[in-house]
């Protein structure tokens, strides 16, 4: 089992290379088999994972450039475990529900390469390795949007690339400088995350490095006001691209805040909480209002995703177990729910050729099964109790309430606002008079039902029994926050001692 994580990372890439040899007519079946095997590997990882341990497990450390301390260092803990499982599950579901008809072979090959990079991001514990996987996600996603997207696909792909690549370059500067600081402090080069966590940085340096990492994470998240590329990318991406973008890629950034920003820059994280909480609340309310004004169903869901990412932000920077655990659970829950929502829009678009809400109406009469499943997914997005959306939102808001009851009360508006625009969209699309052009629409069946139905079952199961994720997650989050707190105390104590020594020196003079 020591190489199970390496298999998880590189199996999709190997399968993608073999995919060039597969006949295009057999490519869908090949992709389903490959993604199913990848999901099984992730479940084997979970089965052998010690849920009671906060340690990083299944670690592999192979030197790459040993003179500069760059290694193939991978592992998994309770924070990253279920995010990796979500990647493998959502990729499998996206492939099962794949409706694209143009150049499917190359699309699937691109998706498999993308899956490799995404798993690598959550498994990497060498910061350079993390950055390599992080940047590699841009290439297949750029290709998916730019080649298989809609009318403005090239503009959307270029904007996506420029925004995310620029933010990542700023983060790279921070990574290299931190590596140099570590070398100056210890005399050896290392980019291993846990080596970095063993040194205490001065407060001023923490601030600058936090800002460098912030741009890499905030732009790709995307956090307000860096969010403008996302609705365009969602609007122009094919359905499978939107599913992966919303379900997985957006979660890499909040994971980065938890894994790197909180652990490496504890005092700076505390210092920037008011700013980040404000940006999160603005995102919650502002983008929810924009979502209400949308006429395109896909754009509405895109803005809804940004609003929910605001809740994840305030959960992370609540800096307590409830908030951080809730944020990670919401990352998983929102990944499932948003993926299901974009799948629903894709199913309608394939049948009608439009995403405009006004073009629908009365669909519940001739698509009752689809209308029922869509309603369950929509209620999970709103945060209805007994659905996966409620658990993460409740814990994130509960954690943030400990920081600021007033701001948390404002943030609760997201539930009200999301109910307004989601139910209004559902009412216009599924109730009222059935339009003549929609009378021939068929209800979902076959692989569409398998894909969407699986997501709905998971939405309900995790809403009723979140313990299966929360127990191992809480163990790792508690340990991570304890490390953060201990580092912050050491730095604070050191600063006070330096201040006392300065006063003593002045008195002696």
Six-digit token pair at 293? 């004004």
Q: How confident is the model at residue 18 (pLDDT cuts 50, 70, 90)?
A: very high
Q: What would the pLDDT profile of 147-190 be if each residue is shown by its tens digit? A: 888 888 899 899 988 888 888 899 999 999 999 999 998 889 99
- pLDDT reported for residue 497: 39
Mean pLDDT of the chain: 87
Is 90 within 8 Å of 244 (Cβ atoms)? yes
Q: Which of 226, 247, 245 is nearest to 170 (CA)?
A: 226
Q: Element (H or E) spanning 74, and its range?
A: strand 70-76
Q: What would the pLDDT profile of 454-503 be if each residue is shown by its tens digit? A: 999 999 999 999 999 999 899 999 988 888 888 776 544 444 434 435 54
Residue 200 clears pLDDT 80, i.e. is over it: yes
pTM for the whole thing?
0.90
Q: How confident is the model at residue 1 (pLDDT cuts 50, 70, 90)?
A: low
Q: What is the mean pLDDT of residues 247-251?
A: 82
- pLDDT reported for residue 490: 56
Cis peptide before 486 (omega within 30 of 0): no
Is 342 within 8 Å of 242 (Cβ atoms)? yes
Instruction: Name all contacts of 103-108 with Cβ < 8 Å and 24+ positions apart.
Output: 103/147, 103/148, 104/24, 104/27, 104/28, 105/19, 105/22, 105/24, 105/27, 106/147, 107/144, 107/148, 107/238, 107/240, 108/19, 108/27, 108/28, 108/30, 108/31
Residue 118 clears pLDDT 90, i.e. is over it: yes
- pLDDT reported for residue 502: 53
More confident residue, 330 or 433: 330
> HSE of 220 in the Cβ direction (CA atoms, 13 Å)?
30
- pLDDT reported for residue 354: 84
DSSP H helices in 293-320: 297-316
Q: How confident is the model at residue 404 (pLDDT cuts 50, 70, 90)?
A: confident
Is 190 within 8 Å of 251 (Cβ atoms)? no
Burial label for 457, CB within 10 Å (0-12, 13-18, 19+), is exposed
Counting residues of the chain whose pLDDT is more than 70, the rounded percentage is 96
Find all residues with CB under 8 Å of 66, minimum gap 6, and list them.
Answer: none
> HSE of 270 in the Cβ direction (CA atoms, 13 Å)?
12
d(CA 194, CA 74): 12
DSSP string, 133-176: HHHHTHHHHHHHHHHHS-TTHHHHHHHHHHHHHHHHHHHHHHHH
- pLDDT reported for residue 365: 86
Q: What would the pLDDT profile of 219-244 be if each residue is shown by its tens digit? A: 877 787 878 888 888 888 888 888 88
Six-digit token pair at 70? 């760059």
Residue 380 clears pLDDT 70, i.e. is over it: yes
Kindly report the length of the chain.
Answer: 509
Parallel, antiparallel, or unpaired for β 57-65 and 70-76?
antiparallel
Q: How confident is the model at residue 34 (pLDDT cuts 50, 70, 90)?
A: very high
Q: How confident is the model at residue 505 (pLDDT cuts 50, 70, 90)?
A: low
Q: What would the pLDDT profile of 251-310 be if each residue is shown by its tens digit? A: 888 888 999 888 889 899 889 988 998 888 988 888 888 888 888 888 898 888 888 888
- pLDDT reported for residue 13: 94
- pLDDT reported for residue 496: 43
More confident residue, 501 or 45: 45
Q: What would the pLDDT profile of 410-430 be if each residue is shown by its tens digit? A: 888 777 888 888 899 999 888
Residue 136 clears pLDDT 50, i.e. is over it: yes
Residue 68 clears pLDDT 70, i.e. is over it: yes
Partners of residue 124 on adjacent β-strands: 74
Centre a 10 Å sphere on the Cβ of residue 162 and count the other Cβ atoms it contains. Answer: 12
Q: How confident is the model at residue 30 (pLDDT cuts 50, 70, 90)?
A: very high
Partners of residue 126 on adjacent β-strands: 192
d(CA 435, CA 360): 7
Residue carrying the six token digits 């692989």? 447
Distances (CA, A) of 118 to 85, 172, 250, 328: 11, 18, 11, 16
Is 77 within 8 Å of 56 (Cβ atoms)? yes
Q: How confident is the model at residue 504 (pLDDT cuts 50, 70, 90)?
A: very low
- pLDDT reported for residue 489: 62
Q: How confident is the model at residue 24 (pLDDT cuts 50, 70, 90)?
A: confident
């Amino acid at each position: 089992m020591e190489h199970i994580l390496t298999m998880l990372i590189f199996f999709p890439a190997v399968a993608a290379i073999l995919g060039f040899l597969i006949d295009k007519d057999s490519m869908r079946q090949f992709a389903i088999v490959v993604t199913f095997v990848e999901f099984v590997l992730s479940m084997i990882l979970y089965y052998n994972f010690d849920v009671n341990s906060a340690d990083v497990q299944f670690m592999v450390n192979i030197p790459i450039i040993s003179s500069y301390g760059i290694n193939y260092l991978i592992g998994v803990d309770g924070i990253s475990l279920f995010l990796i499982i979500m990647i493998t599950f959502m990729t499998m579901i996206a492939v099962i529900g794949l409706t694209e008809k143009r150049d499917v072979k190359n699309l699937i090959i691109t998706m498999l390469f993308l899956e490799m990079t995404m798993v690598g991001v959550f498994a990497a514990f060498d910061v350079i390795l993390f950055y390599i996987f992080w940047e590699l996600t841009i290439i297949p996603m750029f290709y998916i949007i730019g080649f298989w997207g809609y009318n403005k696909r090239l503009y959307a792909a270029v904007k996506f690339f420029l925004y995310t690549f620029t933010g990542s370059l700023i983060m790279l500067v921070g990574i290299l400088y931190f590596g140099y600081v570590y070398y100056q402090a210890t005399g050896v080069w290392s980019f291993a995350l846990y080596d970095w966590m063993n040194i205490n940085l001065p407060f001023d340096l923490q601030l600058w490095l936090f800002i460098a990492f912030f741009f890499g994470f905030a732009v790709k998240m995307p956090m307000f006001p860096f969010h403008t590329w996302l609705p365009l990318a969602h609007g122009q991406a094919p359905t499978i691209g939107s599913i992966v973008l919303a379900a997985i890629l957006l979660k890499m950034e909040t994971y980065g805040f938890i894994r790197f920003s909180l652990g490496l820059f504890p005092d700076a994280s505390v210092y920037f909480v008011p700013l980040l909480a404000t940006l999160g609340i603005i995102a919650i309310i502002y983008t929810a209002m924009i979502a209400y004004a949308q006429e395109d169903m896909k754009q509405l869901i895109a803005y809804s995703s940004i609003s929910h990412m605001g809740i994840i932000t305030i959960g992370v920077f609540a800096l307590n177990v409830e908030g951080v655990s809730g944020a990670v659970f919401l990352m998983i829950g929102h990944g499932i729910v948003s993926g299901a929502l974009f799948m629903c829009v894709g199913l309608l678009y394939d049948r009608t050729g439009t995403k405009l809400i006004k073009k629908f109406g009365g669909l519940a009469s001739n698509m009752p099964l689809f209308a029922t499943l869509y309603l369950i997914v929509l209620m999970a997005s709103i945060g209805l109790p007994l659905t996966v959306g409620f658990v993460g939102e409740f814990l994130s808001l509960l954690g943030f309430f400990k920081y600021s009851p007033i701001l948390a009360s404002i943030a609760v508006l997201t539930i009200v606002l999301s109910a307004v625009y989601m139910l209004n969209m559902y009412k216009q699309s599924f109730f009222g008079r059935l339009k003549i052009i929609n009378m021939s629409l068929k209800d979902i069946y076959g692989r569409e039902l398998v894909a969407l139905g699986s997501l709905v079952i998971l939405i309900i199961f995790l809403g009723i029994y979140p313990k299966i994720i929360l127990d191992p997650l809480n163990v790792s989050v508690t340990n991570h926050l304890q490390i953060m707190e201990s580092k912050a105390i050491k730095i604070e104590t050191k600063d006070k001692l330096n201040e006392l020594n300065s006063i003593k020196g002045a008195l002696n003079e």
